[in-house]
Amino acid sequence: MISITSVSHQYGNATALKFADWQVNNAEQWLLLGQSGSGKTTLLHILTGLLKPSAGLVKINDTALYELSSKKLDAFRGQHIGIVFQKPHLIKSLSVTENLQLAQSLAGLNTNQQRIEEVLTSLDMWHKRNAYPQELSQGQLQRVTIARAVINKPALLIADEPTSSLDDKNAEAVLALLKQQSELNQATLVVATHDKRVKDAFNLTYSLA
């Protein structure tokens, strides 16, 4: 599913960040743990096709990401990788349904209303399908963000610091939703965080120094 081999990245004249080789199997759920400055964001960007490493090989589902053209890499990311950011980043002028339709379109897929209903129902958000982002609570916005990440049935679901600004109750709820959605969609889940509250929810951990 995920394979990184001899990967490193260097920003200018700074000391290169080096990452231990990592193999992740289909449908596994991993915690990517690291403090600020450890290279966690860099590795996330490398895994999601946003940053070409200075050296090394990165494969998702046996596809070498950085051997793809920019256009093919964008399409591959849209179809195979779902990303849950710390903040929603939804388009405010579009309804919940329209935000999900846009995610389908950007991945080069046809609009699939049945899939939208299926995902929103599984997240208890179907009743908010015509609402706009500014009309939703923070908890509802997080659910729509997760819906957008899984709408195209990605093989890989990555969540970047999804609990860092949440209290214990909401952090636990978001983690439960992410794990539930990865299981429903048979997706590999990687949750990146420095939040130690999350550790007990995962059996598999990749740690950065």
168 SS3 class: helix
Of 142, 35, 64, nearest to 96 (Cα)? Answer: 142
Per-residue pLDDT reduced to its tens digit, 37-96:
889 989 999 999 999 999 999 999 999 999 999 999 998 999 999 999 878 889 999 999
User: What is the value of pTM for the model shown?
Assistant: 0.90
Does residue 165 register a pLDDT over 80?
Answer: no
Residue 88 CA to residue 100 CA, distance in Å, equals 13
Residue 142 CA to residue 121 CA, distance in Å, equals 15
Per-residue pLDDT reduced to its tens digit, 16-29:
999 999 999 999 99
Question: What share of the chain in percent tops pLDDT 70?
Answer: 100
What mean pLDDT is predicted for residues 111-133? Answer: 96
Residue 115 CA to residue 74 CA, distance in Å, equals 22
Tell me the domains of the chain and their CATH numbers.
2-207 (3.40.50.300)
Residue 47 CA to residue 190 CA, distance in Å, equals 10
Does residue 166 register a pLDDT over 80?
Answer: no
177 SS3 class: helix
Return the DSSP state at 163: T
197 SS3 class: helix
Residue 100 CA to residue 14 CA, distance in Å, equals 40
What is the full DSSP assignment across 72-94?
HHHHHHHHHEEEE-SS----TTS
